[in-house]
Structure 1
Amino acid sequence: MRPAVAVFTDTYLPTVNGVTYTIETWRDRWRARGGRMDVVYPKSGHVPGDREFPVFSLPFPFYDGFRIAGPLVPDTVRDVDLVHSHTPFGIGLGGYRLARRSEKPFVASFHTPTSEYANYLSDGLATVVSRAADRYENAYLGRADHVITPSPSARDRLLDRGVDTPVTVVSNGIDTDRFRPTDGPAFRERYDLSGTLVGYTGRHGFEKRLSDVITACEGLDVTVVFGGDGPARADLEAQAAESDVDVRFLGFLDREELPAFYTALDVFAHPSPVETEGLVALEAAACGTPVVAVDAGGLADTVRDGETGVHYPPGDIGAFRAAIGRALDDRSSLHETCLARRDAMSVEHAVDTLEAVYDGILDGANT
């Protein structure tokens, strides 16, 4: 019988991001295997479903869409076998509190470095907050019985920072039943897109360096297509207005549209150096679209140079432009190798690994 797990997270629906998506897909697969996975999250506009437990929260003033809450623990989740926190803040601390008071194993996921949120503060304050955030996160992860990271580079980052808790790499994984090649031409027609398309979808955050996509495409006969939204969008639109590059902003795309979006693209561009994995890169590759990605952070692992895409050195716009050209030239062969790696990208594969981690922790706790 699979263990009952309580998941604690400071970000959840209706906010759409990698953490939310991972929790939702892992929970669904865990339940499909006959297990129980409760979710404790900040109360917002999401109507709770089965075994979802919202707690009182307030908007976070510096980061749109993020909410803050205290370390609250609903009585309905106290009987679980294991606690898994996906974020280190108020609700994540609630998970830690439950685990220690009930003497249950405590697992912590490292999705996004806490210090990245400091980028939304003034420069002087950002430096102070970033350093404090790393120290806090180290202390938080150091109290876990086990830490899960989505990529080898994320694991190495923690080890370099001195975190000595056991760490296992568990890819977030994607739903390969959903993310597969589909009707790209219909998507192009619906949004009046034509020619060679280089695109990105996801949250438009300043730390993701999406402006580099526009700059790198200068001089190329391509159209840049952005899906999604976020705090950097206004700056991107202003840059596009001054650029010779044809840039289209589609706004937030329904998740059901994403496979067609990826399929419609000739290349997916991902310049973000701060990813711990980069789920959208996996989604694009699963749809057969090669990814041009910065050779940094999680994307150094997620994108396989010459197989699922092309890497370029951080900050080198000329190399970024050349990598896009190479991916376009080699698109046919890259498309085939992307499809050949679909099984390794699947969430089922990820949950197999997650289950092995849970079982090992519980076996150790019971000996």
Structure 2
Amino acid sequence: MALKILFVSIFREGDGGGEGRVAFELARWCAQQAAVVMLCPGEKTGPASDESGFHFFHIQSAHQDKFSIPLLNAPTVRRLYRFLDAWKPDVIHIHDPALLGVVAQLWARLNRVPVFYTAHILPSRALEFGPSELAGWLSGPLNDALVEQYLNNFYDNCDAVVGLNPAAVSEIREFGFRGPVFQIPNGRDLQQFGQAAFADPLSPQKTLAFTGFLSRRKNQLYLVEMLAHLPRSYELWLMGEDLTPGYTEELTRLIRAHDLHVRFTGQLSQAEIAAALAQVHAFVSASKMEVQSLAVIEALASGTPVVGLANETIEELVDDTDGVCLPKDTPPEVFAAAVQRVCSLPAEEYHLLCRSARQRVQPLDRANIVRQTLQAYRTVLDERAEAEPALPARELIGRYLSQLPQGVLAPELAEFLSKRLEEALRQPVQHARAVWLTGVNMVGSVIGFYVLQGPLKTYRRLRRLPLRRP
């Protein structure tokens, strides 16, 4: 019988950068071999399907600038839980440790369904993945401690965690997670990126590129500074949209000050990225932190050598066989010299780098990732089937009571134990953290939902006034 898998993402499809993309792609790939439902934000709460037959359970959400906040009030959560009670997933796979993921996690805990979590963010540096760039007040010792406690509670309610590479696995273990950790990288459709010819190394004009949100963590400002140390025949393509307020303006001022050739392409589709990379002589990265960058994987898959400052992804995938991995503190002028060396190689040596780049990421093909993921599910399910349940489930109560010694006291004992077991099931001590996490996320989601909806809608909601529509 095919596995039933509930995937959970805090993003709508098409939002969330690489993290959002991976969640939906993995769900769609697994749907070819298993029964899959994607729990994610939507216009209204309830099950839905797209034209391909892929299944969703949407939660009504406010949406702004590719960011969604679901309305996790009590009626919504009850409706979701009724759906899960009826569908009975075998596994719940969460991609975000908040909101929808936490609500799904509580249902799983109460129903003894294993919870997987893919750690797209490093737990000890969670505030460096976006929020601190959008709201500087989030960083600081107090908030770091609160986030650490929150994530500790979340991890304690996971049955298994997926680490994307050795650095992530090590970080998860150092954070204190004691359950199974599976090293499964982000998968890509390598065929989409491996069809085009390599860039022409003999061309006098050289094209460099970086793909990703324009943000301080991605550090495109460094790349622009580096470009100032290269001949004017070099052009830099920045493929992505603005994330950090004011950052694009800062980049533009530096570009104008040095009269540099930089092209802002905006966000591109996967097909457009693949076509663009076929014209790129070197992919350049100065990102301060990347657990496992899809952009670097796609560049290598296209046969584009990568020159980058050391981070989790560059150290894992880039060396002198497919590009250059430089120390984090490398000055821009030294980075520029490394780029010029790669782009000035004789055609034969350059093409060797290109072929090695493609070969480097072959294990990351989506077929391998789906196989590893499904095998991880089965491993945990098999181990759970062999283990005694930690807490009696509701359907086991009758079996326990039927084994009581028969006699005068049997009815009294049965009544007493029934009440005790029912109380334990309603308020299991080991689920207290999951209940607390869910409550916090439900309250936060309702507040955030109405904030994103805007002050007028919020005011009318609070006053219980009907919203007039044009």
Report the TM-score when normalising by structure 2: 0.70
Q: Corresponding residue for 1:229?
A: 241
Q: Corresponding residue for 1:198?
A: 208
State the Cα deviation string for residues 114-142 of structure 1 (Å, max 9, x = none): 31234235545422434432332232122
* Distance verdict in 2 for CA 1:130–1:332, change over 3 Å: farther
Q: Corresponding residue for 1:188?
A: none
Q: Corresponding residue for 2:39?
A: 40
8 Å Cα contact 2:163-2:172 kept in structure 1: no
Match of 1:251 among 266, 274, 282: 266
8 Å Cα contact 2:309-2:326 kept in structure 1: yes
The 1-side partners of 2:374 and 2:20 are apart by 19
State the Cα deviation string for residues 27-59 of structure 1 (Å, max 9, x = none): 2221222x11211111259x8523112102234
Structure 2: runs of 5 or more not aligned: 387-470
Secondary structure, counterpart of 2:139 in structure 1: helix
* Distance verdict in 2 for CA 1:285–1:100, change over 3 Å: same
Deviates more, 1:315-324 or 1:343-352: 315-324
Q: Corresponding residue for 2:177?
A: 163
* Distance verdict in 2 for CA 1:271–1:2, change over 3 Å: farther
* Alignment root-mean-square deviation, CA: 2.5
State the Cα deviation string for residues 77-126 of structure 1 (Å, max 9, x = none): 44111111110111110220121121101111111243123423554542
Q: Corresponding residue for 2:300?
A: 285
Per-residue deviation, 1:256: 1.7
Secondary structure, counterpart of 2:263 in structure 1: strand
Q: How does 1:112-127 map to 2 (within 5 A)?
A: 112-113=121-122, 114-116=126-128, 117-120=130-133, 123-127=136-140
Per-residue deviation, 1:348: 1.1
* Distance verdict in 2 for CA 1:287–1:139, change over 3 Å: same
**Which has the larger share of helix?**
2
Q: Corresponding residue for 1:76?
A: 83
Match of 1:263 among 266, 278, 283: 278
State the Cα deviation string for residues 130-174 of structure 1 (Å, max 9, x = none): 443233223212220100021111122222233333211111110
Structure 1: runs of 5 or more not aligned: 186-192
8 Å Cα contact 1:108-1:148 kept in structure 2: yes
Q: Which has the higher contact order (CA 8 A, sep 6+)?
A: 2
Secondary structure, counterpart of 1:56 in structure 2: strand
Secondary structure, counterpart of 1:253 in structure 2: coil
Q: Corresponding residue for 1:190?
A: none
Deviates more, 1:276-285 or 1:326-335: 326-335
* Distance verdict in 2 for CA 1:274–1:215, change over 3 Å: same
Q: 1:106 and 2:115 equivalent?
A: yes
* Distance verdict in 2 for CA 1:249–1:76, change over 3 Å: same
Query: Max radius of gyration: which structure?
Result: 2
Q: How does 1:1-367 map to 2 (within 5 A)?
A: 1-15=1-15, 17-33=17-33, 35-43=34-42, 49=50, 50-59=54-63, 64-69=65-70, 72=77, 73=80, 75-78=82-85, 79-113=88-122, 114-116=126-128, 117-120=130-133, 123-127=136-140, 128-182=142-196, 195-221=205-231, 222-231=234-243, 232-301=247-316, 303-318=317-332, 319-328=334-343, 329=345, 331-367=350-386
* Distance verdict in 2 for CA 1:134–1:204, change over 3 Å: farther
* Distance verdict in 2 for CA 1:77–1:291, change over 3 Å: farther
The 2-side partners of 1:184 and 1:252 are apart by 23
Instruction: Give percent identity, aligned residues only.
Output: 21
Per-residue deviation, 1:344: 1.2
Deviates more, 1:149-158 or 1:128-137: 128-137
Per-residue deviation, 1:325: 2.7
Per-residue deviation, 1:291: 1.2
The 2-side partners of 1:211 and 1:65 are apart by 23
* Distance verdict in 2 for CA 1:134–1:237, change over 3 Å: farther
* Distance verdict in 2 for CA 1:74–1:260, change over 3 Å: farther
8 Å Cα contact 1:184-1:261 kept in structure 2: no
* Distance verdict in 2 for CA 1:227–1:65, change over 3 Å: same
* Distance verdict in 2 for CA 1:321–1:132, change over 3 Å: farther
8 Å Cα contact 2:12-2:42 kept in structure 1: no
Per-residue deviation, 1:194: 8.0
The 2-side partners of 1:182 and 1:350 are apart by 23
Secondary structure, counterpart of 1:15 in structure 2: coil
The runs of at least 4 aligned residues of structure 1 exceeding 6 Å deviation read none
Secondary structure, counterpart of 1:251 in structure 2: coil
Secondary structure, counterpart of 2:217 in structure 1: helix
The 2-side partners of 1:16 and 1:182 are apart by 28
Aligned residues: 355
The 2-side partners of 1:167 and 1:342 are apart by 22
Report the TM-score when normalising by structure 1: 0.88
State the Cα deviation string for residues 277-308 of structure 1 (Å, max 9, x = none): 0011111111100111221223321x231233
* Distance verdict in 2 for CA 1:358–1:254, change over 3 Å: same
Secondary structure, counterpart of 2:242 in structure 1: coil
* Distance verdict in 2 for CA 1:173–1:121, change over 3 Å: closer
Per-residue deviation, 1:16: 5.1
The 1-side partners of 2:10 and 2:220 are apart by 25
The 2-side partners of 1:292 and 1:59 are apart by 36
